[in-house]
Amino acid sequence: MPAMTMIQALNSALDIKLATDPDTLVFGEDVGYFGGVFRVTEGLQKKHGLTRCFDSPISEGGIVATAIGMGAYGLRPIVEIQFADYILPAYDQLVSEAARLRYRSNGEFWCPITVRSPYGGGIFGGQTHSQSPEAIFAHVTGLKTVIPSNPYDAKGLLLASIEEDDPVIFLEPKRLYNGPFDGHHDKPLTTWAEHPMGEVPAGHYTVPLGSASIVREGREVTVLAYGTMVHVANAAIAESGIDAELIDLRSIVPLDIDTIVKSVTKTGRCIIVHEASRFGGFGGELSALIQERCFYHLRAPIERVAGWDTPYPHAFEWDYFPGPARVTKALKRCVEAVA
């Protein structure tokens, strides 16, 4: 299998759908001639034409509203919001229209749209290019929220998302576009060519939404993560020497609660890691679900490691970013807690 970056894997997924499904099309800010700010759509307009991959005005609400109309008429648009920080002008369209269309029309219409957007920090993007807004979409009934952590999953999950008949928010951890990142910003970068999940089939395949992946098996504590935090948590586990089980959620809606419950029932302990701010973050929902289902198996309080409840600070990137040191401390607190 060829080695791909996450950018190349996403590009491959889009290329396959444009080539095989005439109802698909790609549009957004700078995605056509320019190939997207991160080059995820590079070459698609030249290969598939101006009507299949084209630029839009700088209007996130207009981009999503247009996609909803296209979806209701039978197309499968894949739109890009250049940074997840700028998706909020489209939030009303996503919540009031896309998420509700199937229910409101009694199944007569639906909205098979995929909204791609780079999210997260670790690139010194500051407060307006580093946010993690996944929780506000997970809260909306009718939307699915997907977050890959590697090129193999990125391609398979994107293909599965495009083939969904309901709207999908597809958040891409931009710190992982060109290589895995374990949170050690002061160490040399590694590439996806050096990572087993960088091997990506050239053809069509899907990774089912709602299927978590057990990255590492263990017996002392369960660690739940998604996106960049999968790699950070894996590094922290290795450095701590604790026999932790690491689960990559891959999608938060739908959520693979069965895999989570099975693991926490086995270990009796759980740590949740996400990059978004702690208060109101998706970790709170995960904690509640685990408490409801695994209460009599828990041997220690559930721990959460997350971003601080502040705007993302450009000057203090690595103080805000939940790195391996913070995860390691949580691991030790959790396993040392008296049952």
As annotated, the active-site residues are 60, 129
Q: Coil, strand or helix: which one is 113?
A: coil
Cα 25–Cα 37–Cα 170 angle in degrees, nearest 5: 55
Instruction: Give 207: exposed, middle or buried? Use CB within 10 Å, 0-12, 13-18, 19+.
Output: buried
What is the distance between the alpha carbons of residues 63 and 28, in angstroms, rounded to a whole number? 7
> What is the separation, in whole angstroms, between the first and last Cα of the chain?
47
**Which residues, other chains included, contact 56 with Cβ-Cβ below 8 Å and sequence gap of 6+?**
27, 28, 29, 31, 62, 63, 66, 79
